[in-house]
Structure 1
């Protein structure tokens, strides 16, 4: 369960400007420490060797870091464009939040500002001999950090924005979100009762957008007893308009309505953090784009199917026999659990629709559904078989060759020998 402040902090922590600002500040402070510390320094004469060379070294760092940063930004923009064209526009958010990219750019910018401040300070004559020696030592440390990031960046650029790397990031984000939902199936609250009490009043959204985050702990702080229980009517990822119902409760006044609305973060875009369905939707977009006539890459679609199976298997195993109750829920805040049917529909329906004419993709879909059925209970098995039958029906219309249709239909047979 993540509170709103923690969620906002995570969002900020993943922003490029945050790391760039932090590293830039560190570079400026490092360059000025040599000046501030000079009154307390008494370095032996031997350590002053090479300190006079710091001027030219800082000039080299300043000019080279500016060029490298510009090149890196161009490479990033190219990678984003490649991911948008070949994978999914929604996947570029994960590239923007990539830590390796952010750390590399932040290091380059920080080194540039360090050298720039050092050059200005040297020109102003604020360093004595000991200060120049300390600045020289700091410059050597900066050079080591820059060289390390350059080597790491050179290897990372070879796969940044590539289809497989981007699919892997989508899979990781979806798996993390689904894993968090397994730990907190009701976002930290309690299960929604089968029948809601009568006489409930509703809290409307008041704005248009996607529910990005729900602060269950904040909702819990508004409830003192069961008579004030809050029944959350939406989940992260839901699209709401001004009149959409966010929550319902028996006791509502204007102040409490405002407090409940404040627990729901609504924005123009969906995010991966609390929204496992969004990750599966992006995976399906990757597969559908690969199956389009313009790209015609069934291998990427098959790869995406494998990612979806790996992502869904822990949830299927968890949902077998019922989701259950969390150990220490927020009392009297009721939230719906994720629907396994929705998760299956988010991925398998669009991929089956767009891949119905490809025999290899259909065979992989049938095997993927069977793998999930084996991991689940009777309800999961019935759901998987329903999708398998729908896939066969789609193939009947999309595949011109009877032999191909027969191969896909044969996978409905539960005989284990047919899946070896």
Structure 2
């Protein structure tokens, strides 16, 4: 599992200003590199390049990159607004972390600074005749980079901020988080069961004064503390849990003192909003929120809800993936488990509620439950059966005509019989 500082660094790297800063520094360094390398250029080469060639090219790049950067920023803001309005505000963070958009903007800003520094150095005579040769060659390379970036940006603009593209990003985030959770169950420790005495008195609770969501738990740090003080640590607040000063983050089997309490509490990162990284339930909830918004009377887009149901099957399929036995990394750490039933609730309850009166949504839900009930883990059949019955009950409570309701009931009845595979595209 990632340490707290690696996780924090990963969050910084995803910020849009990080790549822009790196490309900007690279642009400035590249422009000044010609000053250092100019003594190594033969004198006869500089006569083949016109004295004003580089100046004019850099002037064109500087003016055009400033315009393109401004346009790109306005396009990005529009895409973020579209994702917020048409999809869900919770998905905007993933759109903002789009690597293609960040690389494009960083390339434009870096090219602008490269040309600006080059013009200043040329004006002051820092390059000399040999330096102009190097600057000219580098400028040609920058132009090629700009053209390639523009072509890629034009293609990417057709998808940026669209409902399908944003929904796909949420699906990937949920799958990555769930796969990480299944690859290292219980954060590398042991399962903390509901009736485990380690998570009750007379053991000592560890709390924080902040109110917010747990975004990350540094299991490695907690294990070090447990080994150092010869204690067991029961983690009850995994990523996604809302905590407050009276809500325990963990329980310890020892008398608490200030240093131990602060050390354990520091392993938990708490923020105002949930994070996708260690929290697969958040990705599942955002997927369901996209479907719920699509099913609202103002939007009336059941096709998006049906698409989310299909994506939900792919997310839950990660739970059923075959994997090798994982060696326990932190034997003194006991962690609350992510439950399959909770993932089902996050994904399907909002869709079943908001799409209860729509035949197409009801049918697709039942077919999804039948498909999921055929997965290898026997828990899938139990949980899918419960959700199937709930969906039928919700549909029966609406004004749906008897013929449509019968279709849903007939499809739901298949779940209790010999498994039948329904294609997701049916």
Per the alignment, in what secondary structure is the counterpart of residue 64 of structure 2?
A: helix
Report the Cα distance in structure 1 between the residues aligned to 2:324 and 2:351, rounded to whole angstroms: 31
1:226-241 alignment to 2 at 5 Å?
A: 227-241=230-244
Give yes or no for the alignment of 1:137 onto 2:137.
yes
Offset of residue 399 of structure 1: 3.6
Q: Equivalent residue of 1:231, what SS?
A: strand
Structure 2 vs 1, CA of residues 419 and 17 (structure 1 numbering), >3 Å: closer, same or farther? closer
For structure 2, which runs of at least 5 residues remain unmatched after alignment? none
Q: Number of residue pairs matched?
A: 416
SS in 2 for 1:413: helix
Tell me which residue corresponds to 2:302: 298
1:310-363 deviation per Cα after TM superposition (whole angstroms, max 9, x unaligned): 011121456xxxx99731321201111211111000011111000001000011
Name the counterpart of 1:61: 61
Contact 2:46/2:129 (8 A) holds in 1: no
Task: Give 5+ residue unaligned stretches, structure 1.
Answer: none
SS at match of 2:249: strand
User: Quick check: 1:280 aligned with 2:281?
Assistant: no
Alignment partner, residue 146 of structure 2: 146
Q: Residues 362 and 408 of structure 1 are in contact (CA less than 8 Å); yes or no, is this contact kept in structure 2?
A: yes
Which structure 1 residue ranges, 4+ long, deviate > 4 Å from structure 2? 415-420
The match for 1:207 is 210
Task: Assess if the C-alpha contact under 8 Å between 2:45 and 2:133 holds in 1.
Answer: no
Pick the aligned partner of 2:221 from 203, 218, 221: 218
CA distance in 1, matches of 2:367, 2:306: 11
Paired with 1:274 and 1:10, the residues of 2 have a C-alpha distance of 13
Residues 27-68 of structure 1: per-residue CA shift (max 9 Å, x gap): 000000001222333354367424530000000000000000
SS in 1 for 2:309: helix
Displacement after TM superposition at 1:210 (Å): 0.4
Per mean C-alpha deviation after superposition, the further-off stretch among 325-334 and 91-100 is 325-334
Pair 1:192-2:196 in alignment: no
Q: Could you tell me how far apart the structure 1 residues matched to 2:250 and 2:52 are?
A: 68
1:295, CA displacement in angstroms? Answer: 0.7
Map 1:16-31 to 2 at 5 A. 16-31=16-31
Query: Are 1:263 and 2:267 matched, yes or no?
Result: yes
Query: Equivalent residue for 1:373?
Result: 373
Partner of 1:254: 258
CA RMSD of aligned residues (A): 1.8
TM-score under structure 1 normalisation? 0.95
1:62-106 deviation per Cα after TM superposition (whole angstroms, max 9, x unaligned)? 000000001011111111111111111111100100000000000
